Amino acid sequence: MNQAIRELAENVAVPFETARAMPKSVYTSDEFLKAEIEHIFKQDWFCAGRADSLANAGDYLTLTLAGQPIMVLRDHQGFLRAQSNVCRHRMSTLLEGRGQIKTITCPYHAWTYGLDGRLRGAPAMDQNAAFKRADYVLPQVRCEEWLGWIMVSLNPNAPAVATQLSGVEELISDFGMEDYSETFFETHIWDTNWKVLAENFMESYHLPVCHAGTIGGLSKLEEMICPPGLPAFNYHTILKDDQLPIALAHPNNTRMQGDRRRTTFLLAIYPSLLITLTPGYFWYLSLHPKGVGQVDIRFGGGMSQDYVNDKDAMAHFTRLKTLLDEVNVEDRGCTEKVFQGLLSDLASPGHLSHLERPNFDFAHYLARCTGESLDR
């Protein structure tokens, strides 16, 4: 019996108007983490990054999803391909980080694979009568491109990304997110539970205080709109002013009118793709648990197509990146403090603000997914 799952089920069985934050056990229980890996990260779609970062044949990136080393690359036919990042010989991992290759060569015994995962060469195997090169192919992993995002799943039966997230496309169709270009990508590890960071993104209630040194003074709680979420995502919106011009629609953008030209969407795509989308730029986090007390972070961002050729765009974006780095320092401090507090015997979850509606919807998603294990 997983007590944390039962506590979460009880937590979400009340109306939002009387809801509390999730139980401590949801963040600190090893058993709950096992349920998340089994019923969320092995079943749902996970974001590996942006498709335009793999523009040419042989461009690749690597990740670990639910304990499985995976590579994603652009093959010779121009398609994105995800496959196991483990050699079929003595099971060494093959590629690291990001880069560009012509073939995939194992760093242990130089078994060499094509971009399609088929074994091309294996030194000194001619005296093994049972060895057949054609028998060796790297296991393939589901991979789909959605609005410019690389999405992978270990679940062969997961519904198509576009089907699950059709509601997102309807919300932001005039942004043209599929054409935004990535200009930076980084990886980080923070000392907090992945859900603490996810929830931190989902609500802007913390902005005036946690970000008092950066963007807090620009945050107007009364202008934040937090509608009920949908089964596969939640969102809220903020109206930006002209203090950072790249946050607004470019003068050449004729698709957007009125307040839409200064609207920022904060999209939480379950389980862990978190996107800040403005008419001029975007940044994102893709999160994966690293135990209960750490989170692997894929952090990237870039500009809308409207700004790519603007003479002042890079200067604006450089200023933005500096600001994002400062904001991340503040967020890291706040979220690591939350995890420290979660470990206290004296701590207990309090009631949620109306500005934390997305967190309540996220809790429902987690309860729905992990609750499957209670039925077994």
pLDDT at 372: 64
Cβ atoms within 10 Å, residue 183: 21
Dihedral pair phi/psi, residue 161, rounded to 5°: -60, -45
Domain boundaries in the chain? 3-42+164-375, 46-153
pLDDT at 314: 85
Residue 360's contacts (CB-CB under 8 Å, 6 or more residues apart) are: 12, 16, 19, 352
Q: What is the mean pLDDT of the chain?
A: 94
Strand partners, 20: 351
> How do residues 224-244 score in pLDDT, each as one tens digit?
788 999 999 999 998 888 878
Span 3-42+164-375: which CATH code? 3.90.380.10
CA 263 to chain centre: 21
Measured distance CA(146)–CA(186) in Å, rounded: 21
> How do residues 184-196 score in pLDDT, each as one tens digit?
999 999 999 999 9
Q: Is the pLDDT of residue 126 over 50?
A: yes
- Of 41, 1, 7, 39, the closest CA to residue 23 belongs to 7
> How do residues 76-122 score in pLDDT, each as one tens digit?
999 999 999 999 999 999 999 999 999 999 999 999 999 999 999 99
Q: Please write down the HEC assignment for all residues of the chain.
A: CCHHHHHHHHHCCCCHHHCECCCCHHHHCHHHHHHHHHHHHCCCCEEEEEHHHCCCCCEEEEEEECCEEEEEEECCCCCEEEEECECCCCCCECCCCEEECCCEECCCCCCEECCCCEEEECCCCCCCCCCCHHHCECCEEEEEEECCEEEEECCCCCCCHHHHCHHHHHHHHHHCHHHCEEEEEEEEEECCCHHHHHHHHHCCCCHHHHCCCCCHHHCCHHHCECCCCECCEEEEEEECCCCCHHHCCCCCCCCCCHHHHHEEEEEEECCCEEEEECCCEEEEEEEEECCCCCEEEEEEEEECHHHHCCCCHHHHHHHHHHHHHHHHHHHHHHHHHHHHHHCCCCCCCCECCHHHHHHHHHHHHHHHHHHHHHHC
Q: Is the pLDDT of residue 373 over 60?
A: no
Q: Is the pLDDT of residue 313 over 90?
A: no
Across 360-367, average pLDDT: 98
Instruction: Indicate the CATH number of 46-153 among 3.40.50.720, 2.102.10.10, 2.60.40.1120, 3.20.20.70.
Output: 2.102.10.10
Q: How does residue 218 score in pLDDT terms, banded at 50, 70 and 90?
A: low
Lowest mean pLDDT among 222-231, 247-256, 349-358: 222-231
Measured distance CA(299)–CA(297) in Å, rounded: 6
